[in-house]
Amino acid sequence: MDRPIDDLKKIAYTKLKDILISSLDNNLITEAEMSKSARFISYHLDTVENKFELMIFLQQLFERWQIYKSVYIYFKDLEHQENDAKKVLEVQDKLKQFININN
């Protein structure tokens, strides 16, 4: 159920790149800030080793450049969906155990 960190980093790179290009095209970020944010992304995202570090990186990124907030929200939502799916599986397992005990 959990996605490998390398897959999550690829998704993050793609989403961040798309936002960066769109923001530059729509004059939401200057070329100088684009360059700074691109260096920040390249340097920090490469060093991310787990989901916790990814979330910290994304939070720091959007705190510096608001254009990236949607990527942070996307991954927060993904995290919640995975947690919810785990909880559902746990409840299903408990129900199966309960049914087996009572049969």
Residue type, 13: Y
* pTM, entire model: 0.80
CA quadruple 51, 57, 62, 68: dihedral, nearest 10: -60
Greatest Cα-to-Cα distance within the chain, rounded to the nearest angstrom = 69
The one-digit pLDDT tens for each residue of the chain (103 residues) are: 478 999 999 999 999 999 999 999 999 999 999 999 999 999 999 999 999 999 999 999 999 999 999 999 999 999 888 888 888 888 888 888 888 887 6
Sign of CA dihedral 49, 42, 81, 63: positive
Q: Are 70 and 19 in contact (CB under 8 A)?
A: yes
Q: Are 41 and 33 in contact (CB under 8 A)?
A: no
